[in-house]
Amino acid sequence: MVQAAINSEALTVLRRVFGYEDFRGSQREIIEHVIGGGDALVLMPTGGGKSLCYQIPALVRPGTGVVISPLIALMQDQVDALRAAGVRAGFVNSTQDMQARREVESAFLAGELDLLYLAPEGLGVPSTLRLLDRGKISLFAIDEAHCVSQWGHDFRPDYLALSMVHERWPDVPRIALTATATSATHREIANRLNLNQARHFVASFDRPNIQYRIVPKNEPRRQLLQLLRTEHAGDAGIVYCLSRNSVEKTAEFLVANGIVALPYHAGLDAPVRARNQARFLRDEGLVMVATIAFGMGIDKPDVRFVAHLDLPKSVEGYYQETGRAGRDGLPSTAWLAYGLADVVQLRKLIDSSEGDLAHRRVQSKHLDAMLALCETVQCRRSQLLAYFGQQGQESCGNCDTCLSPPESWDGTIPAQMLLSTVLRLDKERNQKFGAGQAIDILLGLQTEKVAQYKHDALSVFGIGKDLSKSEWGGVVRQLLAQGLLAVEGDYGTLVLTAESRTVLSRERQVMLRRDVLVAKPAAAKGKQ
């Protein structure tokens, strides 16, 4: 197909079927590339308009576009919405009855489907594979592609099977899409899905209309109420809590205080969940109090705030959840209250989780990165973007650290102590250790491991007794966050970075946040 023809056909479909005047961002480029038969890997934030990137090519190219999505619960709604726009769409998954499945299958075989939604486990079922072999496929779209990454935050084993799509259907173009990917996850997606030769489209992850704020938690529900009353009266929003119990309690608390709020978590009956979700989408100014079970694929443009009453487990999760605010581009708030008790609880969850050691280490890294974001004295937005490998401005002017710079203290000396410990272990002993051992050395603790490696003979042994263990933990996390220290390998060993030298040579001052360092371990048991 010649380029001009592709352009006009895609634009016609955009206007006629979807009713939009023009493409957004890089949609046009992506769509043209896929219509032309190219493979694509698309990184675009939530609300960026990923769906059209495969829906339009599926409508323009001959055959059926097969969409792999883990969001089984949403397939019905997605398909209904497409049908309402006149698109011939169907889905095959474990929730549907035989009759419905047969109808979809015969429509597919007769070439009467534009889009077929499929759960990833479907590709492990021989009968489904045979079905696909018998029809004509225009493209494969792999939605939520970060699920293929074992180092990402939302790994799904079924996604690993998707690597065979390319082998089985080498001539069918593939487009993989995700809204969260660090550069490591990005690489892993490309490798696992065989998309190294594909064109990669990486949109900016900045959501300039979202104001990021992270505050220490003291009376979380009161703090939340204050936020809602002073800044978001009558607004629609989502409040995320870690546990079902805390979802229930928080919803009750808000209702008792005159806020229209509903609970949502996996422990509620399906009809109740569906009803609450429908009300959230339809009513104005409703607050949904939910676990992270809520929100995937929810497209409500005027969510004015997303509040977290507990610390998210990863920056990816935080970004995805806060990204549900302000899809309409109007000013919105992402507010998070976190305390040391959260950290203790999440660490416990990780330690007691079923996964193997490698998996627990990944989770622990994710938590560290999340904490680093909480504890930064720098612009939250630029740090968030840096996490996803993107450059932002030095200060955005629309996050709490930019708007009211946090109280900080000169942590240059502790930073030097820590960096020298890492340096000495490396230079004098040719050893690498994790943060725990470095901190034990600084505190001068006579542990078994200290004795075993004779670390008490190091000149830095015991020079850091002025700070507590948890304060040292804060120093480590903040140095990691500022790129003055790095972790390496599966064991999370500490290594110096190119920038570390500037601290050791006193060319550079290291400012650390005060508010995150006050909590001594005992305080973790107190009220949060």
> Footprint of ligand ADP on this chain (CB under 6 A)?
20, 23-24, 27, 44, 46-52, 299
26 makes contact, choosing from Zn ion, ligand ADP, none, with CB < 5 to 8 Å by partner type, with none
Binding part of the chain for Zn ion, among 194-202, 245-253, 352-360, 371-379 by CB under 5 A, reads 371-379
CB of 385 to Zn ion, least distance (A): 10
CB of 117 to ligand ADP, least distance (A): 14
Look up residue 384 and give its amino acid.
Answer: L
Bridge partners (DSSP) of residue 245 are: none
Asked if 402 is part of the footprint of Zn ion (rule: CB under 5 A), the reply reads yes
Tokens representing residue 10 in the block = 């895609």
Binding part of the chain for Zn ion, among 175-183, 274-282, 308-316, 394-402 by CB under 5 A, reads 394-402
Nearer to Zn ion, 26 or 383 (CB): 383
The residue number with the shortest CB distance to ligand ADP is 49
Write the DSSP string, 143-171: -SGGGG-TTSSS--GGGGGGGHHHHHSTT
DSSP state at residue 286: P
User: Can you tell me the distance from the alpha carbon of 424 to that of 430, in angstroms, rounded to the nearest whole number?
Assistant: 8
Asked if 337 is part of the footprint of Zn ion (rule: CB under 5 A), the reply reads no
Please give the helix or strand (H or E) that residue 64 lies within, else none: strand 64-68
70 makes contact, choosing from ligand ADP, Zn ion, none, with CB < 5 to 8 Å by partner type, with none
- Provide the CB-side half-sphere exposure for 280 (13 A, CA): 26
Nearer to ligand ADP, 50 or 186 (CB): 50
27 makes contact, choosing from ligand ADP, Zn ion, none, with CB < 5 to 8 Å by partner type, with ligand ADP
Nearer to ligand ADP, 27 or 333 (CB): 27
Please check whether residue 68 is in contact with residue 141, taking contact to mean a CB–CB distance below 8 angstroms.
yes
CB of 24 to ligand ADP, least distance (A): 4
User: Can you tell me the distance from the alpha carbon of 60 to that of 124, in angstroms, rounded to the nearest whole number?
Assistant: 28
Question: How many Cβ atoms from other residues are within 10 Å of residue 410's Cβ?
Answer: 11
Cα 37 to Cα 138, 404, 408, 479: the distances in Å are 9, 50, 54, 46
Please check whether residue 140 is in contact with residue 169, taking contact to mean a CB–CB distance below 8 angstroms.
yes
Tell me which residue has tokens 């690597």: 163
Look up residue 316 and give its amino acid.
Answer: E
Binding part of the chain for Zn ion, among 275-283, 380-388, 426-434, 460-468 by CB under 5 A, reads 380-388
Nearer to ligand ADP, 81 or 109 (CB): 81
399 makes contact, choosing from Zn ion, ligand ADP, none, with CB < 5 to 8 Å by partner type, with Zn ion
379 makes contact, choosing from Zn ion, ligand ADP, none, with CB < 5 to 8 Å by partner type, with Zn ion
> 18: closest CA among 46, 42, 53?
53
Among 31, 242, 379, 442, which residue interacts with Zn ion (rule: CB under 5 A)? Answer: 379
Nearer to Zn ion, 179 or 379 (CB): 379
Tokens representing residue 322 in the block = 């806060």
Please check whether residue 441 is in contact with residue 460, taking contact to mean a CB–CB distance below 8 angstroms.
yes
User: Can you tell me the distance from the alpha carbon of 355 to that of 363, in angstroms, rounded to the nearest whole number?
Assistant: 10
Among 153, 304, 324, 381, which residue interacts with Zn ion (rule: CB under 5 A)? Answer: 381
174 makes contact, choosing from Zn ion, ligand ADP, none, with CB < 5 to 8 Å by partner type, with none
Asked if 396 is part of the footprint of Zn ion (rule: CB under 5 A), the reply reads yes
Among 336, 346, 399, 443, which residue interacts with Zn ion (rule: CB under 5 A)? Answer: 399
Asked if 214 is part of the footprint of Zn ion (rule: CB under 5 A), the reply reads no
- List interacting residues with Zn ion (CB under 5 A): 379, 381, 396, 399, 402
